[in-house]
Amino acid sequence: MDFDSARANEWLYSPLGARVLREEALLARSALDDVFGFELLQVGAWGASQELLSAARTPHTTVVAAQSGAGVTLCASLDLLPIASDTIDAVLLPHTLEWVADPYAVLREAERVLCAEGCLMICGFNPVSGWGARQLCARYLRRPAFPPQMRRMLSEWRLRDWVALLGFEVDSVKGYLGYLPVSGTASGKTHPVFLSGAYWLKARKRVPTLTQVRPRRRVISRVLVSATEPTSKVSR
């Protein structure tokens, strides 16, 4: 299935999709409050503009996507970013891993470009919620994917395992949206993940420091000899 970002973004301006985008824009304000540095990179387009980056504290923000569109500043393959390693202060993946063919490859690429102690943020739908049930029903009945173009939903626990393998330490996971996929007014409130339709995971890239090992001093063993030297003379 070829990803059509325009079709996916159309859903974000339906009553249900608009609620998702509003909730995430509210949540982004608090999530970005302690994210500093120079460059914040959003991997994957989400919405017709940069709604999630409006509260960024970094002086520079970039949205990279596989296709051009409103708000996209760089077009590139998401699993092969044209960005030098260890140069980005924060990376945001807004449901990106749920649409791509190889989510772990995209996550690995995000780890590569992040600098030490850089911040990784991931939005994902909760597969063990009403949102996940609706996606399964659409697949079982061979109806269009829910949300449109989505390949799969990834659980919070799977993402925890993946980021840990890549050397990240999870700072927080916040649930949002109602358990059931119904439209409504955005509240910005968070809930336990198991009671929510989606989650926002935040982690830090930890780089182990090298501990200097001092060379061991060589201990020269000394053999004690008797004060009287042995003699070969035989007394007569």
For the chain, helix (H) and strand (E) counts, in that order, are 5, 7
pLDDT above 90: residue 2: no
Side chain identity at residue 158, one-letter code = R
pLDDT above 50: residue 221: no
The top-level CATH class assigned to 5-205 is: alpha beta
**Contact by Cβ (8 Å): 147, 228:** no
pLDDT digits (tens, 9 = 90+) for 143-175: 888 998 899 999 999 999 999 999 999 999 999
Neighbours of 226 (CB within 10 A): 6
Distance CA 23, CA 26 (A): 5
pLDDT above 90: residue 187: no
| pLDDT class of 213 with cuts at 50, 70, 90 | low
The set of residues, in sequence order, having a beta carbon less than 8 Å from that of 85 and lying 6+ positions away, is 112, 113
> Side by side, which strands form the sheet with 88-94?
74-75, 60-65, 39-43, 88-94, 114-125, 198-205, 168-176
| pLDDT class of 226 with cuts at 50, 70, 90 | very low
Q: Is 231 helix (H, G, I), strand (E, B) or coil?
A: coil
Neighbours of 1 (CB within 10 A): 9
Q: What percent of the chain has pLDDT over 70?
A: 86
> How confident is the model over 174-191, as a mean pLDDT?
90
- Strands, E, within the chain: which ranges? 39-43, 60-65, 74-75, 88-94, 114-125, 168-176, 198-205
Rounded to two decimals, what is the model's pTM?
Answer: 0.85
Neighbours of 158 (CB within 10 A): 15
pLDDT digits (tens, 9 = 90+) for 69-122: 888 999 999 999 999 999 999 999 999 999 999 999 999 999 999 999 999 999
**Contact by Cβ (8 Å): 93, 121:** yes
| pLDDT class of 233 with cuts at 50, 70, 90 | very low
pLDDT of residue 183: 87
**Contact by Cβ (8 Å): 27, 117:** no
Least confident of 2-6, 130-134, 173-177: 2-6
Q: What percent of the chain has pLDDT over 90?
A: 67
